[in-house]
């Protein structure tokens, strides 16, 4: 078998800011191979979430190149980026984790159904993941009035559904007690060990030190 020679994520010379005067990232380069778990660390405001949005193809950098697997996403249009995202990337956002208009269940399966999975097959995985993460809320209820930790674990279930080759997680353990933080951490490490590329932004230096590498922003 020919090994996958290209890293799953390969970014070079990425420059981006929200205003012309203040670039947040200035020529940032980095890559992540399948099987690796990498932490993004750095002070609040240093651009960790911004970098995850760029790697997740949600934000287009001003300049630089970004490959996701075999796709040169800097060169494709919005539709192409959205297809790559849907097929390859699971995302846990820092806030706005869930769509409050939809049920917990629909939040978890929506990406998979968009990809073409049946609700039934996605549902089997969804229930297993919610149980694994100890989410004890009724999955038919709307995704409102949840604790931060519940929302975070539900979002992680959504991100891991269908075992995407890339998972980007923004402070995935931020709102969690020790036991749930461990559950989430274990799930992310296991997913990396099964061959996925995981990038997580975290303020937890101990967790970052357990990762294979860190990207440090300043």
Ligand X SMILES: Nc1ncnc2c1ncn2[C@@H]1O[C@H](COP(=O)(O)OP(=O)(O)OP(=O)(O)O)[C@@H](O)[C@H]1O
The partner in contact with residue 24, picked from Mg ion, ligand X, none with C-beta cut-offs of 5 to 8 angstroms by kind, is ligand X
Site track for Mg ion across 47-86, x = CB under 5 A: -xx-------------------------------------
150, 135 contact by CB (below 8 A):
yes
Nearer Cβ to ligand X, position 108 or 156? 156
Nearer Cβ to Mg ion, position 109 or 188? 188
Residue 48 found at the interface with ligand X (CB under 6 A): yes
Helix-strand-coil percent breakdown of the chain, rounded to 5? 40, 25, 35
DSSP state letter for 13: E
Site track for Mg ion across 19-48, x = CB under 5 A: -----------------------------x
Residue 46 found at the interface with ligand X (CB under 6 A): yes
According to DSSP, the β-strands at 166-170 and 63-68 are unpaired
Site track for ligand X across 50-69, x = CB under 6 A: x-------------------
The number of angstroms, rounded, from the C-alpha of 113 to the middle of its chain's C-alpha atoms is: 18
Residue 15 found at the interface with ligand X (CB under 6 A): no
d(CA 218, CA 208): 16
Q: How are strands ordered across the β-sheet holding 89-92?
A: 89-92, 166-170, 197-201, 37-41, 213-216
Nearer Cβ to ligand X, position 50 or 125? 50
Nearer Cβ to ligand X, position 5 or 206? 206
Q: At closest approach, how far in Å is the CB of 192 from Mg ion?
A: 21
The number of angstroms, rounded, from the C-alpha of 25 to the middle of its chain's C-alpha atoms is: 19
- Output the CA–CA distances (angstroms, integers) from residue 68 to 21, 79, 152, 192, in the order listed: 29, 15, 25, 16
Nearer Cβ to Mg ion, position 129 or 156? 156
DSSP state letter for 195: T
Q: What angle do CA 76, 109, 78 make, to 5 degrees?
A: 15
Nearer Cβ to Mg ion, position 50 or 107? 50
* Residues 6+ away with beta carbon under 8 Å from 209: none
Residue 148 found at the interface with ligand X (CB under 6 A): no
Residue 45 found at the interface with ligand X (CB under 6 A): yes
Q: At closest approach, how far in Å is the CB of 4 from ligand X?
A: 29
Residues that bind ligand X (CB under 6 A): 18, 24, 42, 44-50, 94, 201
Residues that bind Mg ion (CB under 5 A): 48-49, 94
């Amino acid at each position: 078998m020919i090994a996958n020679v290209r890293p799953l994520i390969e970014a070079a010379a990425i420059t981006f800011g929200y205003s012309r005067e203040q670039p947040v990232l200035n020529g940032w380069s980095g890559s992540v191979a399948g099987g690796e778990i990498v932490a993004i660390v750095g002070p609040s405001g240093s651009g960790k979430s911004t970098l995850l949005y760029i790697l997740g193809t949600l934000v287009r950098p001003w300049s630089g190149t970004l490959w996701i697997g075999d796709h040169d996403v800097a060169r494709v249009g919005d539709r192409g980026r959205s297809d790559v995202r849907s097929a390859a990337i699971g995302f846990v956002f820092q806030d706005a984790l869930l769509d409050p208009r939809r049920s917990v269940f629909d939040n978890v399966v929506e990406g998979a159904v968009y990809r073409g999975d049946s609700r039934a097959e996605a549902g089997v995985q969804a229930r297993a993941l919610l149980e694994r993460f100890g989410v004890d809320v009724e999955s038919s209820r709307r995704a409102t009035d949840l604790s931060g930790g519940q929302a975070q674990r539900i979002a992680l279930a959504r991100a891991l559904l269908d075992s995407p080759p890339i998972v980007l997680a923004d402070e995935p353990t931020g709102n969690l007690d020790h036991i749930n933080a461990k559950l989430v951490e274990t799930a992310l490490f296991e997913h990396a060990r099964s061959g996925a590329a995981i990038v997580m932004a975290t303020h937890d230096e101990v967790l970052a030190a357990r990762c294979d590498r860190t990207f440090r922003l300043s």
